[in-house]
Amino acid sequence: MKKAVLIISLLMLIGCKSKNVSRDTEDLKIKKVSGAEINSSQQQKAYDLGKRVLETCNTSKFKPFNETEVTKSVMENTTEERLTKTCQRFRQYYGSFIDLKLDGVYKSKQEVIYRYHAMYSKKVANKELRVFVDENNLISAIKSMDWDEKFDAKINE
């Protein structure tokens, strides 16, 4: 009986062995874009929309996005209620929003990522804003996080 259990266990172990899955890593690569390669109108659009979101915390007024600026998912997720909740926390900890400073532009196969250092009135504020632009020149994501000098190449978590 013990031998039968041992043999079945070994067969299950062999049968459940993980398989090697080959991935196209080209899709996952993110490269920093040089100044000459940056699309200036796209960069201005990313800056304007990112600034519009963060200035909502100062003015308490949000001009909703439209379908020529952002993807449908961004439009649905960027509601006045969600922004108000986030803004209350940001104003409490970081003070008033001042401006965005472009730190770098990165490109993957599907998106261009604009990385901004967000400046606030309180010196303890050390925040980053990433604006993702898809191949249709629409903002596909806006992400705020703590600033790190090193760019973490994880896409849109």
d(CA 38, CA 44): 10
Percent composition of the chain: helix, strand, coil (DSSP 3-state, to 5): 40, 25, 35
pTM value is 0.77
- pLDDT tens, position by position, 69-120: 999 999 988 888 888 888 888 889 999 999 999 999 999 888 999 999 999 9
Which pair of tokens denotes residue 155?
């896409």
Fold assignment, 37-146: Nuclear Transport Factor 2; Chain: A, (3.10.450)
- pLDDT at 156 (0 to 100): 47
